[in-house]
Amino acid sequence: MASPSEGSVSSPVEAPRERVLVLDFGSQTAQLIARRVREQNVFCQIVRHDLPVARIRELAPKGLILSGGPASVYEAGAPAPDPGIFELGIPVLGICYGMQATCKALGIEVSPGTHREFGRTQCHVKHRSPLFDGVGEELTVWMSHGDQVRRPTEHWRILAETADCPAAAVEHQSRPIFGLQFHPEVTHTALGGQLLGNFVRKICGCQGTWKMSSFIDQQVALIRERVGHRRVICGLSGGVDSSVVAALLFKAIGPQLSCIFVDNGLLRENEVESVRQRFGEHFRTDLHVVDASELFLRELAGVVEPQAKRKIIGRVFIDVFRQEARSIPDAHFLAQGTLYPDVIESGANTDGPAATIKHHHNVGGLPKELGFELIEPLRDLFKDEVRALGHELELPEEMIWRHPFPGPGLAVRCLGEVRADRLRVLRQADTIVIEELRKAGLYRQVQQAFAVLLPVQSVGVMGDFRTYDEVVAVRAVTTEDFMTADWAHLPHTVLQSISTRITNSVRGVNRVVYDISSKPPSTIEWE
């Protein structure tokens, strides 16, 4: 069985392409730098800060960006790049710590700051350079540093300054090496994207060939070459990642693709139908919809403990999937929707930064031991690029923008016992939440929204009757990465329509509450 990185479709035959490397010194914003560069249609990869120069030569980047980081360059053991990178003749841009590490490596003193400079500040451009093309004399920049370079040697030119930082931007006089003390990758730096664009296009000479359409052509060729006449299985979940993988594979190998969709009875309204319609009728893949809902509900009967629910669902899913996969003759590969942030976070890529393990209870995935070779065509992509790819592959908007849905499905939103009748109530309530958000034009402005059925009953009054019915909680969050989240400040009118519709039309519910907890300390899901 191949390891995930060996299994990457992009690794066996690397098509030539422009690339810029971000050497990651532990910055919170390394991914943001990579995304900004990709917005210039230039492929950008994050690698460890000390990647040996021999490996960098092999990757043949057009430019190197040294990220920020939490360390101080003058401390013992401070992370440093391979000094050989400055002799390659490849343009280098050091950002914050990356600038200090560059300057130190080239013999310039870096001094501890007397105070930390943090937040927005005004930057004055003193000297024109291609790096500042299209930028006026004054710009707002985002700073976050203690140390700084005070007196560059005569080999350097100071391009810009701020009140507290005399060398906010520097340029080497004879080599294509630049440093920015501020962070061009964050949106608080006005025209930061322009600066990074100037670096990759004007200084590194990139043409901007990284486009989703060319990515498709390239991946289709790679997939065909690797798969040959063999068969690929793809597990569909109804979510955007697996849908894009399936659509891409279908384009590459058509009838050699078999899709498996396990209906665990814990899905959202219309999920089975939309998958059937798209992958069975529109794309006409060899689609296997396995209705295992009764089996799942039987195994979950009487179980209320959240971890126990997750374990059961994970186990049954793998059993059902494995059995269905075995029924498909000649299946050799398994396609998965692994994305670039997963690769970086798990450190699975040997060029990647030191392993930072993502602490996430990912249930609903497949184990490596299934015995297939993996195909992971999205391993190089960020989520927004996957969506763009979905557009190119003509997936419907609704599928591309659907809020994420956990592997254990409605079971972790049906607090207490998971039963068909309670799931029906939950599904109806959930549909109303989503419909009302769409109606108000807010669906895309929150990153996840759903209903939760609580395991409590409360007293109500309907007409002349006293009721003793269930409670639905509504959850809606805004978030960038799902690691932290804020509760969405939905307009009261929208909350009101949700509440009125649920209590009026969902039998068995007489109360609706809105969850106003952020993550942390709460999680997004309730279980």
> What angle (nearest 5°) sits at the alpha carbon of residue 443, between those of residues 439 and 447?
165
Q: Are 498 and 436 in contact (CB under 8 A)?
A: yes
Nearer to ligand XMP, 100 or 448 (CB): 448
Annotated catalytic residue 414: no
Q: Which residues have CB under 8 Å from 271's CB, separation 6+?
A: 238
For 237-383, strand residue ranges (E) read 257-263, 286-291, 331-335, 373-375
Annotated catalytic residue 155: no
Nearer to ligand XMP, 382 or 482 (CB): 482
Q: Are 471 and 512 in contact (CB under 8 A)?
A: yes
H or E stretch at 194: helix 192-197
Q: Are 53 and 94 in contact (CB under 8 A)?
A: no
Read off the amino acid at residue 96: C
H or E stretch at 102: helix 97-105
Task: Taking the CA atoms of 353, 358, 363 and 364 in sequence, report the sign of the dihedral they define.
Answer: negative
CB of 274 to ligand XMP, least distance (A): 18
CB of 446 to ligand XMP, least distance (A): 12
Tokens matching residue 474: 């509504």
CB of 237 to ligand XMP, least distance (A): 8
* Of 96, 165, 204, 206, catalytic: 96
> What angle (nearest 5°) sits at the alpha carbon of residue 424, between those of residues 420 and 429?
150
H or E stretch at 375: strand 373-375
* 520 preceded by a cis bond (ω within 30 of 0): yes
Nearer to ligand XMP, 14 or 398 (CB): 398
Nearer to ligand XMP, 175 or 519 (CB): 519
Cα–Cα distance for residue pair 100/98, rounded to 1 Å = 5
Nearer to ligand XMP, 360 or 391 (CB): 360
Nearer to ligand XMP, 482 or 514 (CB): 482
Nearer to ligand XMP, 56 or 488 (CB): 488
* Of 49, 145, 172, 183, catalytic: 183
CB of 519 to ligand XMP, least distance (A): 5
Q: Which residues in this chain contact ligand XMP in the complex, by CB under 6 A?
A: 361-364, 404, 406-408, 448, 482, 519, 523-525
CB of 490 to ligand XMP, least distance (A): 18
* Of 18, 161, 185, 527, catalytic: 185
Cα–Cα distance for residue pair 66/33, rounded to 1 Å = 10
CB of 404 to ligand XMP, least distance (A): 4
Annotated catalytic residue 96: yes
H or E stretch at 454: strand 448-462
Tokens matching residue 33: 């730098």
CB of 482 to ligand XMP, least distance (A): 4
Alpha helices (runs of H) in 204-239, residue ranges in sequence order: 212-227
Q: Which residues are catalytic?
A: 96, 183, 185
